[in-house]
Amino acid sequence: MAAKSENCQGQSLLHGKYELGRLLGHGTFAKVYHARNLQTGKNVAMKVVGKEKVIKVGMMEQVKREISVMNMVKHPNIVELHEVMASKSKIYFSMELVRGGELFTRIAKGRLREDVARNYFQQLISAIDFCHSRGVYHRDLKPENLLLDDDGNLKVTDFGLSAFSDHLRQDGLLHTTCGTPAYVAPEVIGKNGYDGAKADLWSCGVILYVLLAGFLPFQDDNLVAMYRKIYRGDFKCPPWFSPESRRLITKLLDPNPNTRITVVKIRDSSWFKKSVPKSVKTKEEQGFDAVNFEDVGKGKETETLNAFHIISLSEGFDLSPLFEEKKRDGKEALRFATTKPASSVISKLEEVAKAKKYSVKKSDSSVRLQGHENGRKGKLAITADIFALAPSFLVVEVTKSSGDTLEYNQFCSKELRPALKDIVWTSPAGSTWLENVLGSSDSDF
C-alpha cells in the first residue's frame, strides 16, 4: 500500500468515538487511516470500505466473511479486529495498528539471514496452524499480507479470500480458485478441489523460499508457463540454502498435496527446531513472569464468598457487573465445591503441574499454572481461585488466563478433571453442590 499523508474526507470524528488522522495506505476497495480511540486513548488502524463499490462488484459476502473470520482468529501473530461499525455508505474496521510495514518491503531490500527467516516462518506457522484449528483457511498468503510490528513480530492480515470449513463441498474440499498466482498451490489451479490447509502450507513454502532467496521459486513472464512449473514443482534452491532448509522447502513445495509435509512434521523438523520459536507474550504471560505470587498471598486468608458471589457462580444469575467495575468477559471457567481444605486443592493442582512440567505460583487462596511450550495461541496459563463458603466447605473456580481455548478445554478434560475428581463434593444423590443450590448443571464435573 502506498503511504501518504491525507486527512479523511468528511467527518473527522467517527461515531463520536474515533478521531481519524492521516491516510496510511489504500487498495482498490478500501482506505486505511490512522485513528485514535478517544475513550481509551489507543491508536488503531481504521479500514474504510465503500459499500456501493463492493456491492457493485459483488464483494459484500467477501467483506462479511472477513469480519466473521477475524472475530474467530484471535492470536498474537494475527492482526486483531477490535470492532466493526457502519454508516449508510461505508463500513469501518477498527483494527490493531501495526507500524512496521509489510514483510514484502523488507524482502525487497534483499534476502534475509537464515535465523531471521526462521523466526518469521515460525511465527507464520503458529498463526496458520491456529487458523486451521478453527477451520479457517487463509488462501492468499504472501509477504504483502504479512505485517511487522515495532518489535519485529509478524502479523498475518487480509482474510478477504479466506474460507471456512462450512464452505467445503460434499467431497470435503474447497473448489474456488483464488490467491496470488506466484504463491498458489498447484491443486488450487486445477478443477478437482483442494484441501485449504495443505494449500496454505504450499504458500508458506513459497514465502520461506522468498525469505531465504530474495526471489520467487516459480518465475516466468508467461503465466501459463509459470503454472506448468508450479504443477511440476519445478524449482531450484540457490547454493547458499542450508541442507536442512532445502529439505524442508522441498517437502513444502511438493506438488502432490497427499504427500506434502504437515504442520506437525514442520514443527518437528530439525531446521524449524534449530532455535526456539519466537512467541509474542500476552499481557497475562508477562504478568505471570512479573508477579511474585507467594508474596502477594502471604498471610492472606482464603477469601469468603458473600451472597452476591454465590449467585454469580451461576452464569444465568451473574450479578457481578452490578458490584464490580469490570466483568471478566470471555473467561473460560469451571467451578466445583469441595469439603477438603484449601491445602489439599493446592496439592492436587501442584501434582497436575508437576506431571505436565508446568510452572506454579501460589498463595493460600489461589494457584496459577503455566505451560512452558507454545501452543496455538501462546503458553497455556490457568488460574484456580479458592473461596470459602464455610470453614469446611470451599468453592473452586478454574479459569483460562491465557492460551488457546481448545487446548484449555482439553487440559481440563484430560488432566484436571481426573486429578480433582476424588475431592469434588457431591450430594448423596450424586448431584454436584451447584446443581443442588442453583438448580442448574453449571458445574463442569
CATH number of the domain at 199, please. Answer: 1.10.510.10
51 is in an annotated binding site: yes
Please report, for the domain that includes residue 54, its CATH number: 3.30.200.20
| Domain span holding position 87 | 13-96
In this structure, the answer to whether residues 82 and 206 fall within a common structural domain is no
Contact 200, 141 (CB under 8 A): yes
In a domain, 186, yes or no: yes
Band of residue 58 on the pLDDT scale cut at 50, 70, 90: confident
Asked which of 247, 274, 301 is the last residue of a domain, the reply is 274
Instruction: Put the strands of the sheet holding 43-50 in their side by side order.
Output: 13-14, 18-26, 30-37, 43-50, 90-96, 81-86
Asked which of 221, 250, 274 is the last residue of a domain, the reply is 274
Asked if pLDDT for residue 13 goes beyond 90, the answer is: no
Contact 81, 87 (CB under 8 A): no
Burial class (CB in 10 A: 0-12, 13-18, 19+), 313: buried
What is the crossing angle of helices 196-213 and 114-133, to 10°? 170
Q: What is the pLDDT of residue 336?
A: 78
In a domain, 358, yes or no: yes
In this structure, the answer to whether residues 86 and 118 fall within a common structural domain is no
Which is more confident, 3 or 91? 91
Q: What is the pLDDT of residue 259?
A: 97
Q: What is the pLDDT of residues 203-256, one digit of tens each?
A: 999 999 999 999 999 999 899 999 999 999 999 999 999 999 999 999 999 999
In a domain, 444, yes or no: no
Question: pTM for the complete prediction?
Answer: 0.66
In this structure, the answer to whether residues 39 and 158 fall within a common structural domain is no
In a domain, 195, yes or no: yes
Q: What is the pLDDT of residues 408-427, one digit of tens each?
A: 888 888 888 888 888 887 65
Q: What is the pLDDT of residue 313?
A: 47
Asked if pLDDT for residue 443 goes beyond 70, the answer is: no
Which is more confident, 240 or 430? 240
In a domain, 412, yes or no: yes
Among 42-56, 209-223, 228-242, 314-328, the least confident range = 314-328
In this structure, the answer to whether residues 256 and 155 fall within a common structural domain is yes
For the chain, give the percent of residues with pLDDT over 70: 79
Q: Does the CA dihedral 244-245-248-251 come out positive or negative? A: negative
Q: What is the pLDDT of residues 354-381, one digit of tens each?
A: 888 888 888 878 888 888 777 767 788 8
Residue 83: strand pairing partners: 94
In a domain, 41, yes or no: yes
Band of residue 385 on the pLDDT scale cut at 50, 70, 90: confident
In this structure, the answer to whether residues 82 and 112 fall within a common structural domain is no
Mean pLDDT of 309-317: 44
Q: How many domains does the chain have?
A: 3
In this structure, the answer to whether residues 260 and 398 fall within a common structural domain is no
Band of residue 442 on the pLDDT scale cut at 50, 70, 90: very low
Asked if pLDDT for residue 167 goes beyond 80, the answer is: no
Asked if pLDDT for residue 72 goes beyond 70, the answer is: yes
Q: What is the pLDDT of residue 403?
A: 80
Q: Which of 90-94, 273-277, 346-350, 430-434 has the highest mean pLDDT?
A: 90-94
In a domain, 231, yes or no: yes
Band of residue 343 on the pLDDT scale cut at 50, 70, 90: confident
In this structure, the answer to whether residues 86 and 126 fall within a common structural domain is no
Q: What is the pLDDT of residue 120?
A: 96
The set of cell numbers assigned to 251 is: 517437502
Contact 103, 147 (CB under 8 A): yes
Q: What is the pLDDT of residue 34?
A: 94
Please report, for the domain that includes residue 363, its CATH number: 3.30.310.80
Q: Is 171 a catalytic residue?
A: no
In a domain, 234, yes or no: yes
In this structure, the answer to whether residues 143 and 38 fall within a common structural domain is no
First to last CA, the chain: 52
Average per-residue pLDDT in the chain? 80
In this structure, the answer to whether residues 204 and 171 fall within a common structural domain is yes
Asked which of 254, 274, 294 is the last residue of a domain, the reply is 274
In this structure, the answer to whether residues 260 and 315 fall within a common structural domain is no
Residue with cell 463442569: 444
In this structure, the answer to whether residues 75 and 131 fall within a common structural domain is no
Q: What is the pLDDT of residue 424?
A: 82
Asked if pLDDT for residue 165 goes beyond 80, the answer is: no
Band of residue 433 on the pLDDT scale cut at 50, 70, 90: very low
Candidates 140, 158, 195, 200; catalytic one: 140
In this structure, the answer to whether residues 265 and 291 fall within a common structural domain is no
